[in-house]
Structure 1
């Protein structure tokens, strides 16, 4: 099956030559091209019992690489299990209108940061309001910038508990349905986002290029804001999870997802890439889309985040300040068992992912110590991939 790496190896150099890329896009593209090849080095594993040899090449560990997210996701899930409470959780999604997509792409760090801020303040303030819950909540937010067709579509996924800690130290449960009406959510979110966006513009923190250059005129920018205030923004809430264990597995699918997984790529032929996608506007039907290789690469690179940008953030009771103490109180009030944080080995996580015990020799089944010989980095003759 074709992979993103294959597309980059075949068409990447030509794409770079003819287009201007940012430094972070260059780095991500280069890392994906080299991932699990001899260019990154690796090790040779030799079984002392039967002499069987197995070569494994190193991963690039780039957060945008489709190959490197599975293990990172499992590690993250293990670390988050101790933060769960014995209550229902809701999945809430906040999306900005399409009219802002290009502006957001030209000001990624500023607008994505603003998006997190508006979402966090919206949930925190409304949850604290006695009209809805009257308590402090703790929630996790994850930024995604893509739609199923790989177009630019910034939105934030939030996992929100069905309850919170009141000012007098009591646990307050929410209603079975989400405790904040969707209309109230989107209006509050819309107001906050546009207020901060206007502030950014007045402070010259936004850049406008190409077709967006007209927005540098204050009157034109004001007209855009007015039109956005009159729209109903998209905020929706999915039904609560059955139990706490489902929450972290579900959230794990979102935290370490990249723009497109290798599983969705159907074929690479005649300078085109064909991939599966789900059309949410057509009753969630699965469809197939074919793009030129260059257009596929362009769409993929749109979703490379700025260097150092944090795309998974925790707020309220899950924030770093006094998190351990607050969670301990919440667990006592919600009858949540206190779990000891055990470090799970990498081999055990890999076994969970691929169903194989890599501590055993694949030839004789021996679990005796094996020798590991380091392989230096070298230019690859062929695209050799790792066993794992």
Structure 2
């Protein structure tokens, strides 16, 4: 049991009765707590060379889990690398006014508005380049709702191709992004979307935002020379990663949790100690509703477009083979965490799969090992 599992196990009931989390939060917390628990089943492997046995418990596959979330992030980054066309891309960050953040907690549907606003602004910026040919870029948007201090801070990380295809299939390179347009257009688009969802009561807040941000909301869009080989590693850090890694949790004494982070503004090391329930509240508010898509594709990367079929056909068979192999359990663990889970710790040979054990069978570990040993002995004797 890692430190995050222990924290949530100790305060599970208090979290339920005090914070009243929605169903998706409870489901993800339950999965994370029981991730790697042998009582919930797993697979038995045996070494055909020395007879050593290894039981591998099932994982929870929740993005809230530090282990499974990191693996999920690596898989999405790999998936993205096969979708990107071979051109320069730019990493942009669309942020909102600090006074608007609480609205996105009170009205969860506003998170969709963030995506809609970014999509419309990017498409409009490229449409201005040549309205008759309608140049369309490829862009991938990733929603982040947290900062390094774990506080609520919704913003969009976006990867945009430095160029676009016209309706007649002509590609045009674009090295200059209209920074002023991005800031102003994003502010206007988002505030209009928010007013549509919230209603007339938002008008005063909208006016204050226009007065406070006369140059628009902050949008980072500086050139950073991101070619496809580099860009997936860079943006992979933002692809559905867990809210906090266990390595950042320094201490837990049963009442308080101490964690650290490097402040974004000046990269200064900061250590923070807060009560357990505040720590839990900071974490669970970032768990999205079930089926909510934190990563969305737009332009020529959108899945409904015909260009997608052409992009898939252009990927070589060798790349398809590599991509499919990544999603195999052994390969993904090796690439994500740097070790081979099927390497025998005794003789270093590859271990072989023997049998699956499910939670409903209620088999003890001793019974699993005994059954697997007898099956392994049978295999060796028949060989």
- How far did 1:250 drift? 1.7
Report the count of equivalent residues: 355
* SS at structure 2 position matched to 1:87: coil
- Partner Cα distance (1:325, 1:8) in 2: 44
- State the Cα distance separating 1:307 from its structure 2 match: 1.5
Residue number in structure 1 paired with 2:207: 226
Deviation at 1:197, TM superposition (A): 1.6
Q: Which runs of 4+ in 1 moved over 4 A?
A: 131-134, 336-339, 377-381
What is the deviation of 1:22? 1.2
Q: In structure 2, what is the equivalent of residue 103 of structure 1? A: 103
Please tell me whether residue 277 in structure 1 is matched to residue 261 in structure 2: yes
Question: For the residues of structure 2 that align with 1:165 and 1:6, how far apart are their CA atoms?
Answer: 51
Residue 28 of structure 2 is aligned to residue 49 of structure 1: no
What's the secondary structure of 1:67's corresponding residue? helix
For residues 284-363 of structure 1, the aligned pairs below 5 Å read 284-320=267-303, 321-325=305-309, 327=311, 340-342=319-321, 343-344=324-325, 345-363=328-346
Give the deviation of 1:192 after TM superposition: 0.9
Residue number among 227, 246, 252 corresponding to 1:262 in the alignment? 246
Aligned counterparts of 2:301 and 2:335: Cα–Cα separation in 1: 27
Of residues 237, 242, 245 in structure 1, which corresponds to 2:229? 245
Secondary structure of 1:295's match? helix
- List per-residue Cα deviations over 1:273-307 (Å, max 9, x = no partner): 111122223x1212111111110001001101111
Distance 1:302 1:58 in 2: 26
Any idea what SS the aligned residue of 2:212 has?
coil
Q: C-alpha displacement at 1:136, in angstroms?
A: 0.9
Name the CA distance, whole Å, in 2 between partners of 1:23 and 1:131: 47
For residues 54 and 379 of structure 1, do their structure 2 counterparts lie closer, same or farther at Cα, with a shift above 3 Å needed?
Answer: closer
Say if 1:82 and 1:339, in contact at 8 Å, map to a contact too.
Answer: no
Query: CA 1:358/1:230 → structure 2, altered by over 3 Å: closer, same or farther?
Result: same
Cα offset for 1:14? 2.5
Shift of 1:376: 2.9
The corresponding residue for 1:90 is 90
Q: CA deviation at 1:318?
A: 0.3
Q: 2:219 & 2:63 partners in 1: Cα distance?
A: 27
Structure number with the bigger relative contact order (C-alpha 8 A, sep ≥ 6) is 1
- Asked if the contact 2:40/2:358 (under 8 Å) is kept, the reply is no
Q: Which deviates more, 269-278 or 146-155?
A: 269-278
Kept in 1: contact 2:44–2:353 (CA 8 A): no
Q: Distance in 1 between matches of 2:352 and 2:284?
A: 43
Cα distance in 2 for partners of 1:237, 1:303 equals 25
Q: How does 1:1-388 map to 2 (within 5 A)?
A: 3-108=3-108, 110-130=109-129, 135-175=135-175, 179-202=176-199, 218=200, 220-232=201-213, 233-281=217-265, 283-320=266-303, 321-325=305-309, 327=311, 340-342=319-321, 343-344=324-325, 345-367=328-350, 369-374=352-357, 376=359
Q: d(CA) in 1 for partners of 2:317 and 2:211? A: 48
- For the residue of structure 2 that corresponds to 1:31, the secondary structure is helix
Shift of residue 63, structure 1, vs aligned partner: 2.0
Using the size of structure 1 for normalisation, the TM-score is 0.84
Gaps of 5+ in 1: 203-217, 382-388
- Contact 2:45–2:352 (8 Å) recurs in 1: no
- In the alignment, the residues of structure 1 paired with residue 338 and residue 308 of structure 2 have an alpha-carbon distance, to the nearest angstrom, of 34
* Whole-angstrom CA distance in 2 between matches of 1:148 and 1:364: 43
> Where does the alignment leave 5 or more consecutive residues of structure 2 unmatched?
366-383
Distance (Å, rounded) in 1 between the aligned partners of 2:101 and 2:69: 26
* SS of residue matched to 1:143: strand
State the distance in 1 between where 2:276 and 2:180 align. Answer: 41
| Structure 1 residue 375 displacement after superposition | 5.1
CA contact (8 A) 2:43 2:354 kept: no
Tell me, what secondary structure is at the counterpart of 1:289? strand
**CA RMSD for the aligned pairs?**
2.7
